[in-house]
Amino acid sequence: MSYETITAEANAQGHKGVTLLTINRPQALNALNSKVLEELIDAFAAYQADGSQLCAILTGSGDKAFAAGADIKEMSEKAAADFFLDDFFSPWTAEIVKKTRKPWIAAVNGFALGGGCELAMMADFIIASEKAKFGQPEIKLGVAPGMGGSQRLTRAIGKSKSMEMCLTGRMMAAEEAERSNLVARVVPHEELLAETLKTAATIAAMPPMAVIANKEMVNSAFEMTLDQGLIVERRIFQILTASEDKAEGMAAFIEKREGQWKGR
């Protein structure tokens, strides 16, 4: 499938089971317009449907930006009624986050601002280049986060830092983002893609049902009380014990060999 504003590569650079998605509008710092959204929805659906792929990476093209936000030029043309009646921004969560059961990693290579920061936070985790910069500068445009920033940033880094970032629009550098638990890991700029591909390949080599189950469990920690989450965890664990890959994984450990996964 060829796209106008993104690229999609299954088994990226020879990494089996890893799909690489790249936002490709470097001249606009990969700003997120309607075409990018439409194409990312299609590419994530294709990734989810392809049984040979088990981990995706989302990154930005060029050396400067992951995504500098929702496209301000596109939004400047719209009236409040358009945003409201179209429920603008809702497909990001409804069509991408909720429908992608398999994991995906944001590889943040530069500016991740506004919707760009919010898109990175939709990923299961973030690996950042040391040049990455995160921010929610919407306040400077007379608006506020609209793709989940006030909620996901606050859950990730806590009220005080999130409030400061939203109210001042200041950018947070990669080192502070790692210290604040916004990102899983910071790596040298030139090594970002290679490191992220390596991490994604590690995940893609795991037993598929266990990969999906682990993602579901961790995410339930954000949606449920502790008691409910613990029940979900135990039930999913118990279901996994019926899988062929559980028998294979435990046998492989005891026989001191690598497991051969069936995905069932």
Binding residues for ligand CAA, rule: CB under 6 A, are 28-29, 31, 68-73, 89, 111, 113-115, 118, 137-138, 141, 145-147, 149
Which residue in the shown chain puts its C-beta closest to ligand CAA? Answer: 114
Q: Which of 12, 28, 138, 178 is catalytic?
A: 138
Sequential DSSP letters for 143-171: ----SSIIIIIHHHH-HHHHHHHHHH---
Q: Which of 12, 39, 56, 118 is catalytic?
A: 118
Report the residue number, 30 or 243, with the smaller CB distance to ligand CAA.
30
Query: Which letter does DSSP use for residue 118 in this model?
Result: H
Half-sphere exposure of 146 (CA within 13 A, CB side): 19
Choice between 149 and 207, CB closer to ligand CAA: 149
Q: Check if the beta carbon of residue 69 is closer than 8 Å to that of residue 115.
A: yes
Q: Which is nearer to ligand CAA, 177 or 203 (CB)?
A: 177
Nearest to 173 by CA among 116, 130, 133, 128: 133
Identify whether 164 is a catalytic site residue: no
Smallest distance, Å, CB 188 to ligand CAA?
21
Q: Residue 118 CB, nearest distance to ligand CAA (Å)? A: 6
Q: Taking the complex as a whole, how short is the minimal distance between the CB of residue 83 and ligand CAA, in angstroms?
A: 11
Nearer to ligand CAA, 115 or 208 (CB): 115
> How far apart are CB 31 and ligand CAA at their closest, in Å?
3
Q: Given the residues 60, 69, 115, 116, select the one marked as catalytic.
A: 115
Known catalytic residue at 115: yes
Amino acid, res. 119: L
Task: Identify which of residues 72 and 217 has a Cβ nearer to ligand CAA in the complex.
Answer: 72
Q: Considering the complex, what minimum distance in angstroms separates the CB of residue 148 from ligand CAA?
A: 8
CA distance 220 to 216: 6
Q: Where are the beta strands (DSSP E) in the chain?
A: 6-9, 18-23, 55-60, 65-67, 104-108, 111-113, 125-129, 133-135, 172-173, 185-187
User: What CA–CA distance (Å, rounded) separates 60 from 51?
Assistant: 25
Kindly list the catalytic residues.
70, 115, 118, 138
